[in-house]
Amino acid sequence: MRIDIAGHVFNVTGAVKSYAELRVRDAVGYLEARIDTLCVRVVKVNGGTAGEVTRCRLVAHLFAGSPICSVATAADPYLAIDRAAAGLYDGLKAADVHRLRAVSGQAALRRAHPTSLPSASGYSLR
């Protein structure tokens, strides 16, 4: 898994980069092998009456499947990274559960109707 960390209108220091990488790796956990690239973007935005706030956007580009995105906004960049990482974990877990249900559903269909699926005639269901 390659992690790309960058900032826009925000100076991403070494401390912020190392913290973001640590939190992202912790959030991804055992699903790291399924992720090709993970993009971390930290941006300062105008929060209206709250003043300037930090938005963190995480996008996990998977080897198979559509990208998973998580966005969080907070006054503190570290808190924004924490919240976005928690959202990314939830998204990855939901995608993994969906994938496992699809795989187990295909296996159940093969057991119930072995000749009605293309895999019975030599095609793969991947």
Question: Dihedrals φ, ψ of 66, to 5°?
Answer: -85, 155
Exposure of 24 by Cβ count < 10 A (0-12 exposed, 13-18 middle, 19+ buried)?
Answer: buried
Q: pLDDT tens-digit profile of 69-113?
A: 999 999 889 999 999 999 999 888 888 777 777 766 666 555 555
Determine the pLDDT at residue 84: 95
Q: pLDDT tens-digit profile of 70-82?
A: 999 998 899 999 9
Q: How many Å apart are CA 88 and CA 68, to the nearest integer?
A: 7
Q: Summarize the confidence of residues 22-35 as an average pLDDT.
A: 88
Domains of the chain: 2-92 (3.30.160.100)
What residue has token string 């269909």?
A: 109
Sign of CA dihedral 85, 26, 38, 61: negative
Determine the pLDDT at residue 120: 46
